[in-house]
Structure 1
Amino acid sequence: MTKNLLLLLSAAACVAPFQALAQESPWLLRGRAVHIDPVNHASPIGGAGNADRIEVSSKTIPEVDISYFITPHIAAELVLTYPQKHSVRLDGQRIGSFRHLPPTLSLQYHFQPGAAFNPYVGLGLNYTRISKVRLLEGLCELENDSWGASVGAGVDYRLNERWSLNVDVKKLQIRSDVFVGGAKISKLKVDPVLFGVGVGYRF
């Protein structure tokens, strides 16, 4: 009888984490502070010129993301923020600014759902809306839309059944053609790396 009781308790201990996980809400909300570090590369049309001297400023922004767990291992994550303003420099001199809004949708794989330490990787799609371009007193323009891939990785550290800490890094593909007087003169590759630190709430 004692042996049977021990087997029953062992089975219950194994099943309990999966029951708790099954009862968890599939929704996870995170808030992060994210540092945007652009790669800053521009390709001049025809292969000549000094386009690499164009620099887009780095900055730190607030960010919110909403994740929905399709299964304990697989989640869809939507990253949201408000339009961000970046300064643009040429040879170290400021030549203007533009704003961009970069919502990103990713599909993630979480390696240890329910564990305190849960790393993940993700692959997704980024759409960036570029607006309020003010470069060279209006002489220079950028495309309004950019579509590109997104790759990332991170980890959630669980504090309790609701709260967690999060560290996340993503690489986004953000590119735009550059026009002067209606003529395409360059292709700007912002392609930033995003380093994020924040908190998550499972509800």
Structure 2
Amino acid sequence: MLKQVAIIALMGMSASAMAGQWQVKVGGSVIAPTTDSDVAGVGTVKADHEFAFTPSVEYFFNDNISTELLLAAPINHDVSIDGADAVKIKHLPPTVTFKYNLKNSTRFTPYIGVGGTAFVAWDEKTKGDLADLGAKVKVKEDFGFAGQIGFNFQPADAKNWGVFFDARYAQLSPEVKVKVGKDTIAKFDLDIDPMVYTLGYSYKF
């Protein structure tokens, strides 16, 4: 419950901003899960690495303080059990971070941020042996904390444009339930905890 409240509060504070500078960022990301789940009676469950289009919107309260909302396109993850394909998950990862931008005399602006993230899954499908059994899978929404570090670089001839790179960490372990008919044959937390590495362009209004 506390995680959900934190996410809602962060999003509400971001949406309430009415004046200041806005920045739009468009990038491509690698979503790299950092952990897997050893589930008793099931095996080692692991989500694969994926690529995604990850635009975001950022609001600057002043030169140093900003808040950023990540609006990624839907992401597909293939999930394996002991190396064999088992489940395909489509999800959205909306993420809000409050950032401190270290303004300095160079054209590089490093930044660091903390906030919250969500895992909103749909269109889950079984694959391989589970599909042959007629099994159905359901992945529950999850909420967690997020961290971010990166930099924005503005070339000498660019007034508003820039290039950025950042790395985010998301704490996510959605609950997975697998059923055959009305019987639940497996229930576990899928430890994903991904790192998200993003490279792209920024434009400040």
Normalised TM-score (structure 1): 0.79
User: Which residue of the partner structure matches residue 36 of structure 2?
Assistant: 41
Shift of 1:50: 5.7
Q: Which amino acid aligns with 1:190?
A: I
Distance 1:183 1:93 in 2: 18
* Deviations, residues 141-190 of structure 1 (Å, cap 9, x unaligned): 23331100000100001122201110100001121122233466321111
Higher helix share: 1
Find the counterpart in structure 1 of residue 175 from structure 2: 177
Q: Distance in 2 between matches of 1:84 and 1:60?
A: 8
The Cα of 1:202 is off from its aligned counterpart by 0.9
Tell me what 2:16 maps to: none
Match of 1:127 in 2: 118
1:31 aligns to 2:31 (yes or no): no
Identity of aligned residues (%): 24
Note if 1:143 corresponds to 2:139.
Answer: yes
Distance across 1 between alignment mates of 2:140 and 2:42? 24
Helix, strand or coil at the partner of 2:118: strand
For residues 1-203 of structure 1, what are the structure 2 equivalents within 5 Å? 26-44=21-39, 48-49=40-41, 51=43, 53-112=44-103, 115-135=106-126, 136-137=130-131, 139-159=135-155, 160-181=158-179, 182=184, 185-203=187-205
Provide the aligned length of Structure 1 versus Structure 2. 175
CA contact (8 A) 1:115 1:158 kept: no
Which letter does structure 1 place at the counterpart of 2:164? N
Aligned Cα RMSD in Å? 1.9
Q: How far off is 1:79 after superposition?
A: 0.4
Structure 1, residues 15-36: CA drift from partner, whole Å, max 9, x if none? xxxxxxxxxx611111111001
Describe the shift of the 1:130–1:114 C-alpha distance in structure 2 as closer, same or farther (beyond 3 A).
Answer: farther
User: How far, CA to CA, are the matches of 1:124 and 1:184 in structure 2?
Assistant: 32
- Look up the SS of the partner of 2:174 in the other structure: strand
TM-score when scaled to structure 2?
0.78
Aligned amino acid, residue 196 of structure 2: L
Instruction: Evaluate the alpha carbon distance shift between residue 50 and residue 192 of structure 1 in structure 2; reply closer, same or farther with a 3 A threshold.
Output: same
C-alpha distance in 2, partners of 1:155/1:84? Answer: 24
- In 2, Cα distance between the equivalents of 1:85 and 1:119? 30
Three-state SS of the structure 2 residue aligned to 1:174 is: coil
Alpha carbons 1:43, 1:186 under 8 Å: kept? no
| Inter-partner Cα distance in structure 2 for 1:199 and 1:30 | 6
SS in 1 for 2:190: strand
CA contact (8 A) 1:66 1:79 kept: yes
Gapped runs of 5+ residues in structure 1? Answer: 1-24
Counterpart-to-counterpart distance in 1, 2:178 and 2:77:
19
Find the residue that maps to 1:189 and give its secondary structure: coil
